[in-house]
Each structure stands twice: as C-alpha cells, then as structure tokens.
Chains A and B, each alone.
Chain A
Amino acid sequence: MAHVFIFAQQVKQIIDDGNKEIEVPEGAILSAAAADLIKEHQLRIKTTPPGAASSTAPTQPAKKSAGKNAMVHRSTRPIPTTGSAKSAAPDISSGQISQETIEALANRVVERIKQLKGQELDEPLPTREASTESRQIPSDDDDMIICRCEEITKGAIKDAIGNGMQTLNGIKRITRAGMGLCQGQTCQRLVSRILAEELGLSLAEIEPTTARGPVRPLKLAVLANS
C-alpha cells in the first residue's frame, strides 16, 4: 500500500479557496512545508478514515480512495487547477504518487542518461581486448625471414601479435625483430605491414618505433668524444 503524501501546494490550494479545515486521511504523511503552512494559517486538521468516500468533500486535498491510477484521478479531481499546463507534469497535487508514476519518471531519467551517453547502458562498451585471444592463422610464408639482422621469421612476429603485442616496440622486445645492426631500417616497414594486416588496421595507424640515435653504428670511442 502506497503512502499518501500531502504537500504544501495542496495546503496552499485549500487556503486560497478560503477553507479553514483540512481533511487528512489516516496514515497520510504531511510534508514539512505543508505542516508549517497548516500551523501558520491555523487550519483545523480533520482526520478521515482511509478509503473514505471523498466525493462528498470537494476540498479534500489528498485522496486515498481505490486510486491506483493517478492519471484517472486527476481528470475527475474536484479541486480546480490554476492552469491547464499543469496537467502535463507528474501529478503531485493529488497527494499520491503511484508506483506507475515513479516508474515512468525513473524510465525518463534512464532514457535521458542513455541519450547523454550516446549508447545503451546495459551493453558492454566495445574494447580492444586483443591480448587475451590468439588470432594467429598459420600460412605458408610463416618461415619467411622478416628481420634479416636477427633472422626473425614472419611466424614469430605473428605469434607475438597473437599474444597481445600491438606496437612495433612491443614486437621488437619479444622477438628481437628490429634489434639488430640496422635497427629496423630494413624490416620496420615489413613488420608494420604484418601488424596492420593482423590487427586489421591501416598502415597509417601503426606507430613507428621510438626514433633514437645513433642513426648508424658508432664506435664507443667516437661516441665518447662527441
């Protein structure tokens, strides 16, 4: 059984109508503001038993009644409303917020959040969970040497990608492709292409390895004097 609430607005209505008495159904809850208003204007509180016929009391602000549907109530409500625009808003002047109203309100809030986020809340967001599933498909040219300095095959590179490496730097650390004397000057483009193919990206999306000196092998003695 839903509680019956009495809000300040309803009390105000009664005061505006010039009544000095307010009917409060048994078990109804007065809002703090409503209680203040009643005190201020010294209204008499008349307690009515719950479910009592309300049609006889035109000024009764809160109807317990059999009303499960607040919308129906509002249309037959005897209290004159101050403006027709009010009818679009959720009805609180009836003194009762039904389960349906609350649900409708909650749905509207959820819809709005969804709109703001631009996607369904209950669907997982897309993610690049590449590192957990091996997606390597064997092919004939897996024995082909890609990094000539370190003799690293295409298969080894595909293996590293399948294990979750998604950058040239990552592949390099695991396989040594690009760690040799030429520092990837020969194989970096090839490795980039394999990476792009395996991940389904375009070549432009593949980040190059960190560019660092020396550009060519440099003797320790020469570097020390630079």
Chain B
Amino acid sequence: MPEKADAVIIGGGVMGCAIAYNLAKEGLKPVVIEKSDIGGEASGSNGGGVRQSARNLKEMPLAMESIQIYGQLHQELDMDVEYVRAGNLRLCTSEEELETMRQSVENQKTVGLELTMLDRKQVLEINPYIGEKVLGGSFCPTDGHVNPFLVTYGFFKKAKDLGIRFFTHEEVMEVRLKKSKVSGVVTDKQIFETDLVVDAAGVAGRKVANMAGLDLPMRPVFSEALITEAYPPLFKQMVGHAKGLFYGRQTGHGSFFWGGFVGTEQFIHRQGKPLFHFIGPAISEMVIDYFPILKNLNVIRMWSGLIAQMSDALPVLGFAEEVPGFVFATGFSGHGFGLAPVIGRLICELIMDCQPSIPITDFCYGRFSKGGDKECACQGNAACTTITAVCPNKREWLKSI
C-alpha cells in the first residue's frame, strides 16, 4: 500500500531540510526525498554568503529577517555553524563601477539597509590587504558568511531528531495528480500518498514543476569555485567584486574560498557538470589583483556547481494556483543560501495557515503566467543569465569587457 505522508518535500538541500525542520516543529510529519546525499548539489558547493547588500529590493525583507535568524541559529540547531557577521565589502576598480555602486547604495538605503559607500582609505581601514587597483567600495556591516555544509547538516539532523524521515539516493519520478490536485509522489523505489508537495529541488525545480504540468523560466548556470590551503586569519568580511564577478571569504578553518561566474556565452550545456579550465585561472588572476598578499597561497581544489537561475533572478515561492497542493520553494538564482532559515519558516507558515509573516506575493508563480515582471533586473554583470538579446544591460556590459 502506498505510504501516507503529510507532505512530500522534494529536495534535501538546505531549503528542503529547513522546511522539514519547521514543519516538524509544528507537528507535521513530512518526508524528504533527495536524489543524492543531503546537501549534495548547490547546498554542498556554494560560498556560504549571508548578505543583504546588492540584493533585489523585493528580497530585502526576507534577507533582513534571515540575518536575525542566523544570529541565533547555533542555539536552535545545537551546533556551531561558523556564522560570522563581519560585513560584506564590494570592491570597485573603476569610476564607472563606483558610480553604479553609488546609485545602488542609495537605492538600497531606501529600504533601511545599513550600507555605506567607502573611498579607498576607508576600505583600507576595514581590510588592509586590498590591492592598488581598488578605488573604493560599499560596505554592509550586518552581512556575513556561514559554513553551508554545517547549516544544511544542522537542519537535517534537527528534523531527523523530530522524527522526519529522509529518503536519500531516491529520485522522484512522478507527481501524481487527481482532478488536478496533488495526490501523491512516485519515486524510483516507492509511492507516497500526499496532498502536499514542496518543490525544493533547486536546479531540478523545473523538472519537478514539469511533473505537475507547470513550467518555470529557469535554467542551470554554471559557477566555479576554488579553495586554498589554510592561512592565519587575515580578515573576517565577505569580499567581492562590484558586479559579482568573483566573491570570497576566509573560512573558520583558515582556508580562503573564492568563487566566480562565467557568462552564458561560454556556457556549454552538457550532462552533469562541465569543467572549464579557464575559470579557475581567471578567478585566481582577479584574487591576486585584489589581494596581492595571497599570491603564494596554494590552491588545493577547484569545484563547480549549478545555479537555478530564474529569468528575473528572483525565487519562486508559494502555492501554484493551477495545481492545488503544489508549493514552490526553488529558483533562488545563486543567492538563496543566505535566505534558507527564513524560507524554511515562511513556507511552513504558508502551509500551516496560508499567512506567511513576511509577504511573499512578489515571488509567486503567477508572475510568469500573468506576464508580470519579465524585465531583466541585472545591472549588467556576468551572473545575469538572461539571453543577451533580451537584456540591454548585459549587452552593454559585454561590450565593455
């Protein structure tokens, strides 16, 4: 007989685990189905940034609340998640970048974010290791970073302690509908009877949506990262390029993490994760430019991950009107990890009484079908994956490099 579950959460990444944990606290008994290991995809390969700066204004309330939750997450999860709230420094190397940055700082101050524009001298006071090229930047003191593996694992362990069952190495094959309502989930090993499905599958979120007859304007984007050997503590902030070309931090372990994007023009879609030999060198070159002190540090590993990039770089959250019982929590477009604790809470509130404490209507699925926000919100950076023909900002940016 098919097993009954209060809800089936598809995806055992940080989102799935956080949602499961929050639902478990409310007394529900969802099951979580994960294709690989817990945190095996993006949750296990991201940079662990927890930032508010340079976010879309629509996401700002979520990000601000998330910072609050991260502040006491070690108590809630009973483990050290290496959360460091020491700010986020976004560095500019040209007048043009400074000007764009000034505008975006002013813009983000309007929603009450503590964010300041710094000149080179002020940047040096915060981080004395920057290279000569850096002219200035923005600084948000309440941003920070965290160990992504430990956060995911912490949510997973807590949910498990509350009796939630996780089925790893099991793949969802079908979302069953009855009279266009969710009625069950079929995996490659068993069948679950449920009237609630949460699509927290990250980069596979579109595939899961397709199983229920829905579609998302989402595509996978490739991102590369590298890690160095351990080094005595230099700085605690998260640092990055003004346009997000690269970003990094020193981990609690002492190693330096550096990640970077490539434009879609260089992205060749293949099965699995493609390997680009030139991204690692490109990131290294930038790191040396911005932090010359690190040039003799050894790189010990490079890896890559896939980003679930939405056409408007905003996540999809909430119920799908077309299919009652289908809940979206996917498409975080490469900046979801910092939101994970608040998303877990909000999706739980949505499921329990349809009233999330922070409105998430801006992220509804309906925004695509009703022809809403289709304008590309990027400022012309490498992370934007909107087709070049559609995004004027990106065209300009490509000309400039």
Using CB atoms and an 8 Å cutoff, list the residues of chain A in contact with chain B.
122, 124-132, 163-167, 169-170, 173-174, 176, 179-181, 183, 210, 212-214, 217-221, 223-226
Contact = CB atoms under 8 A, between A and B. Distances in A.
A219 B256 CA distance: 13
B275 to A, nearest CB: 7
A131 B297 contact: no
Size range of the chain B interface in the assembly: 35 or more
B38 interface: yes
A164 B38 contact: yes
Interface string B184-212: 00000110000000000000000000000
Nearest to B160: A132
Contacts of B281: 223-226
Given A125-B190, A128-B169, A217 B299 contact: yes
A224 B284 contact: yes
Interface of B: 1, 3, 36-40, 44, 149, 153, 156-157, 160, 165-170, 189-190, 226, 228-229, 253, 275, 277, 280-281, 284-285, 287-288, 294-303
Contacts of A132: 160, 165-166
Contact of A220 (B39, B149, B295): B295
Contact of B38 (A124, A170, A219, A220): A170
With most chain B CB atoms within 10 A of its CB, the pick from A130, A179, A220 is A220
A110 B371 CA distance: 48
B149 A174 contact: yes
Contacts of A223: 226, 280-281, 284, 299
Contacts of A128: 167-170, 189
Contact of B37 (A165, A176, A220): A165
Contacts of B36: 167, 170
Contact of A219 (B37, B190, B297): B297
B123 to A, nearest CB: 21
A164 B166 contact: yes
B228 A220 contact: yes
A130 B298 CA distance: 38
A217 B229 contact: yes
Contacts of B153: 163, 173-174
Contacts of A163: 153, 156-157, 160
Given A125-B189, A166-B169, A183 B295 contact: no
Nearest to A226: B281
B48 to A, nearest CB: 12
Contacts of A219: 295-299
Nearest to B273: A210
B72 to A, nearest CB: 22
A129 B299 contact: no
Contacts of B277: 213, 226
A173 B165 contact: no
A39 to B, nearest CB: 38
A101 B105 CA distance: 79
A148 B277 CA distance: 29
A210 B36 CA distance: 13
Contacts of B226: 223
Contacts of B296: 219-221
B52 to A, nearest CB: 26
A173 B189 CA distance: 26
Nearest to B280: A223
B168 A124 contact: no
Given A173-B39, A180-B300, A214-B301, 18 more contacts: A125-B189, A125-B190, A131-B38, A163-B153, A166-B168, A167-B37, A167-B40, A169-B40, A170-B44, A174-B153, A179-B301, A183-B300, A210-B303, A213-B280, A217-B298, A219-B295, A223-B284, A223-B299
Pick from B38, B167, B301 the residue with the most CB of A within 10 Å.
B301
